[in-house]
Structures are given as structure tokens and as C-alpha cells.
Amino acid sequence: MSSEEGLSSTITDWFFINSWWLLLPFVMILVIAAFIVAFVLLLYMISPLISPKPLKLNGAHVVVTGGSSGIGKCIAVECYRQGAFITLVARDEEKLLRAKKEVEKFAINDKQVVLCVSVDVSSDYTQVENVIKQAQEKLGPVDMLVNCAGTSVSAKFEEIEVERFKEMMELNYLGSVYPTRAVITTMRERRMGRIMFVSSQAGQIGLFGYTAYSPSKFALRGLAESLQMEVKPYNIYVTVAFPPDTDTPLLAEENKSKPLETKLISETSGIWQPDQVAKILVKDAVQGNFNSSVGPDGYMLSALTCGMSPVTSITEGLQQIVTMGLFRTIALFYLGSFDSIVRRCMIQREQSKAADKRE
Ligand SMILES: NC(=O)C1=CN([C@@H]2O[C@H](COP(=O)(O)OP(=O)(O)OC[C@H]3O[C@@H](n4cnc5c(N)ncnc54)[C@H](OP(=O)(O)O)[C@@H]3O)[C@@H](O)[C@H]2O)C=CC1
Ligand SMILES: CCCCCCCCCCCCCCCC(=O)[C@@H](N)CO
């Protein structure tokens, strides 16, 4: 072998080994592309999880429908003690004035105002729009609207007058649509705002005795989800609250005619005080959380029924992913016990009917 041949084969080997490097740019492009795709996917997953900036209640204008009693009144107090200006909306003027005096005790500065507006939130949209306009003229644009006006009926399906089904939808559902409709345009223009809908645990689970009430509370969730998707780019955050039984005049009234089954089933998540409930609801609305639940059963119910509802924090999303199967397992036991409550009550009723006949 001549030295020339040896040299050329060394050059060929050298080129052969090192020519792999020519592929390097392509490999790098592939790796970078993969990273970009992964990053974009991650951004997509993370983007709905980014928490909004909390609302400053100090100096904010908060409108509370149903603010003259129960949970609504406690929400007004909670906002007032954080420096907000309040508009209380309800029908009964005397009750409104009494509530105003109670709320005013919690002032933290002498500029704060409580305004009372008497209107039926469920009957005529134009009226609702007018009173909201008046309130905005006096206390400035609405920063937070709390839709808390509502009522309930608890009885067996065939014992509820058919008119009541319509009333429930009118007050609990339309009575939340109208005030929301009246504030949303200004909120959009200002690119800020909070809207709370007060649903109920009976708006997450259908229960014995709530055939008229539950659907009106489920409806709020559909409204809230749709609206949230529309207004999120305008920095407006929607909250749906799902309180358990709460010690208010409404619960006292409801208890007068409530079927035993409903009482026994609702006891599962206990009876809460309205000020405890209000604190949790206000905190969630201020933070812009979509879901607001009260107590351990409320927490489980919300994780279990999250469906396609928006998430407002990474921990919330992770908790839902991890706990859903476990909570469904627990829920099956609850459902079993509710069925047995209903069956036992039925047997008891039939026995006492038979005894009555014998007498
Ligand atoms: N208490 C409970 O156990 C639970 C209650 N909830 C929900 O919380 C909300 C408040 O309940 P709660 O505080 O117990 O009830 P209350 O009966 O104590 O308060 C209801 C408020 O709504 C007002 N209201 C009623 N009807 C109208 C109307 N047509 N137009 C304007 N205002 C009206 C009332 O004033 P006025 O009558 O003068 O108009 C009152 O201020 C309701 O939506 C209820 O469904 C949810 C879960 C549990
Ligand atoms: C893992 C699964 C956990 C399941 C827990 C189930 C608990 C069910 C309790 C439902 C209580 C409903 C209260 C309705 C209150 C209300 O809206 C009325 N009082 C209004 O007047």
C-alpha cells in the first residue's frame, strides 16, 4: 500500500465518522421543536389556572340583592367592615332600613355609605336596571354584585303547587339574571368586576323535597359558567357559592313544612351560621374563585361536581384530579344512606297511616 492510498483512506474514515455532525442541526431543530410544542401545551394547561388579582374592597361599591336578611345581610356586613360602600336591594323597606342600621355599626371610616333600594329583582327588568343606575349615580360604578335574593320551597313533588315551580325560576334564576345584566356593560367597559351567584348545595345535588328549588339553583351554575367564559378576557370574575343549610329566617320558614326526609338528608352537612358562610363567600369572590364551597361536605361536593367548570388555581385543579375517584366512592355510601332514609320514612308513614285507619 502506497502512502498516498493510506492518506486517502484516512481522509474517508475521518469524513465518514465526522459527517454525522452534519445531522446535528436537524437533530437540534427537532429537539427545539419538541420543546416548543411541550411548552405551548403546558401553557395551554396552565393558562386557565392562573389566579386573578384580588379585588380591593376598601372604597369599592358592592351591591347585595337580598341584603336585608340572612346570608345577604352578613355578606354586606363582611364587605362593609373591609371598607366597601354598600347598596342593599330587597322589597320590604322597613327590613331594609333595619339592616342598614345593623351594617352601619361596622364602619371603618366616616366616608362609608349604606344605600337602600326597594325593588322586586324578579318581576321587571327595566325597574331593576333603573335602580342599579340610581345606585351607580350615588355610589359610583358597581365593583361587585352579589346575587343573594332568593327563596325556597321544600315539599314532595306532587304537593307543590305548580305556580311555585315558576316562582322559583323567576326569583332564584331570573332574579339573578336581571341585576347581572344591569351591571355587566359598565364592568366590561371598566375591565373589572366581580359577580357572585348564591346557589346552594341543593344546586349541586338533587334531593328529596327540592324538586322546585334545586333546578333553580342548578340553573345558576349554567349561567355562571357561560358568563365566566364570556367576561374573563375583560377581567371580570364570576363566583358561584354553594352554601349548606344556614341558620336564617328562610331556613326557619322552610323547616315549618319540610319533609322529614329532607331534614335528615340535609343534616349531613350540618347547619351553619350566616356570618361564617358570608366570610367564606366574600373571600372567594374577592379572590375571583369560580367555586365557593362551605365545610368539608361542601368541599367534597364541589370537587366531585366540578365537571367543565373553570379552575382558578393550580392547587384546585390538582386536588380535583387526585380526589375525584375517592370522593365518588364516598358519595356512593352517602347515596346509599339517603336511599335508606327515604325508604324508612316511607315505611313509617305507611305504618302510621294503617294505624290511623284501624283507630
Ligand atoms: N338559608 C339556607 O339554608 C340557604 C340559603 N341559600 C340561598 O341563600 C340566599 C339567601 O338566603 P337566606 O339569607 O337564607 O334568606 P332570607 O329569607 O333570610 O333573605 C332573603 C332576602 O332576599 C330578599 N328577597 C326575597 N325575594 C325578593 C325579591 N323578589 N326581590 C328582591 N329581594 C328579595 C329578602 O327581602 P324581601 O323579602 O324584603 O324582599 C331578603 O333580604 C337564597 O338565594 C337561598 O336560596 C343557599 C343555601 C342554604
Ligand atoms: C363526597 C360526597 C359528599 C356528599 C355530601 C352530601 C351532602 C348533602 C347535603 C345537602 C344539603 C342541602 C342543603 C340545602 C340548603 C338550602 O339551600 C335550603 N336550606 C335553602 O333554604
**Which ipTM value was assigned to this complex?**
0.99
Q: Which amino acid is at 234?
A: Y
The residue whose CA is least distant from atom 20 of ligand 2 is 152
311: phi then psi, degrees, rounded to nearest 5: -110, 150
Residue 354 lies in a domain: no
Residue 115 lies in a domain: yes
- Residue 165 CA to ligand 2 centre (angstroms): 20
Q: Is 220 touching ligand 2 by the criterion CB < 6 Å?
A: no
- The residue range of the domain holding 282 is 61-335
Residue 39 lies in a domain: no
Residue 292 lies in a domain: yes
Shortest-distance atom of ligand 1 to CA 150: 43
Q: Which three cell numbers stand for residue 253?
A: 320558614
Q: Is 183 touching ligand 2 by the criterion CB < 6 Å?
A: no
The residue whose CA is least distant from atom 21 of ligand 1 is 66
Look at the chain and count its residues. 359
Ligand lying nearest the CA atom of residue 248: 1
| Cα 284 from Cα 239, distance rounded (Å) | 7
Give catalytic residues, as residue numbers.
199, 213, 217
**Amino acid 21: pLDDT:** 74
Beta-sheet strands, E only, within 202-354 = 236-242, 291-293
**Amino acid 81: pLDDT:** 98
Element (H, E) at 28: helix 24-46
Q: Which amino acid is at 263?
A: K
Residue 215 lies in a domain: yes
The residue whose CA is least distant from atom 18 of ligand 2 is 245
CB under 6 Å to ligand 1: residues? Answer: 65-66, 68-72, 90-92, 95, 120-122, 148-152, 171-172, 175, 198, 200, 243, 245-246, 248-251
Domain count, the chain: 1
Shortest-distance atom of ligand 1 to CA 122: 29
| Cα 335 from Cα 337, distance rounded (Å) | 5
pLDDT digits (tens, 9 = 90+) for 31-83: 999 999 998 888 777 777 778 899 999 999 999 999 999 999 999 999 999 99
- Residue 80 CA to ligand 2 centre (angstroms): 29
Measured torsion, CA atoms of residues 149, 150, 151, 157, in degrees rounded to the nearest 10: 170
- Residue 266 CA to ligand 1 centre (angstroms): 18
Q: Which three cell numbers stand for residue 108?
A: 371603618
Bridge partners for 239 per DSSP: 196
Bridge partners for 88 per DSSP: 64, 116
Identify the CA nearest to 61 among candidates 176, 130, 179, 146.
146
Residue 14 lies in a domain: no
Shortest-distance atom of ligand 2 to CA 303: 1
- In angstroms, the first-to-last Cα distance of the chain is 127
Q: Is 277 touching ligand 2 by the criterion CB < 6 Å?
A: no
Residue pair 123/99 in contact by the 8 Å Cβ criterion = no
| Cα 57 from Cα 212, distance rounded (Å) | 35
Q: Is 264 touching ligand 2 by the criterion CB < 6 Å?
A: no
pLDDT digits (tens, 9 = 90+) for 312-352: 988 899 999 999 999 999 999 999 999 999 999 999 999 99
Among 16-25, 199-208, 238-247, the least confident range: 16-25
Shortest-distance atom of ligand 1 to CA 90: 32
Shortest-distance atom of ligand 1 to CA 65: 32
Among 12-21, 103-112, 143-152, 197-206, the least confident range: 12-21
For 113-177, give the DSSP string: -EEEEE--TTT-HHHHHHHHHHHHHHH-S-SEEEE-------S-GGGS-HHHHHHHIIIIIIHHH
Mean pLDDT, range 80-109, rounded to an integer:
98
Q: Give Cα 221 distance to the centre of its chain.
A: 7
- Residue 336 CA to ligand 2 centre (angstroms): 15
Q: Is 251 touching ligand 2 by the criterion CB < 6 Å?
A: yes
Residue 29 lies in a domain: no
**92-183-229 Cα angle (round to 5):** 125
Model confidence at 135, pLDDT cuts 50, 70, 90, reads very high
Residue 114 lies in a domain: yes
Ligand lying nearest the CA atom of residue 94: 1
- Residue 90 CA to ligand 2 centre (angstroms): 25
CATH number at residue 293: 3.40.50.720
What predicted TM-score, i.e. pTM, was given to this entire model?
Answer: 0.91
Among 40-54, 68-82, 157-171, 208-222, the least confident range: 40-54
Whether pLDDT at 235 is above 90: yes
Q: What is the percentage of the chain residues whose pLDDT exceeds 90?
A: 86
- Residue 207 CA to ligand 1 centre (angstroms): 20
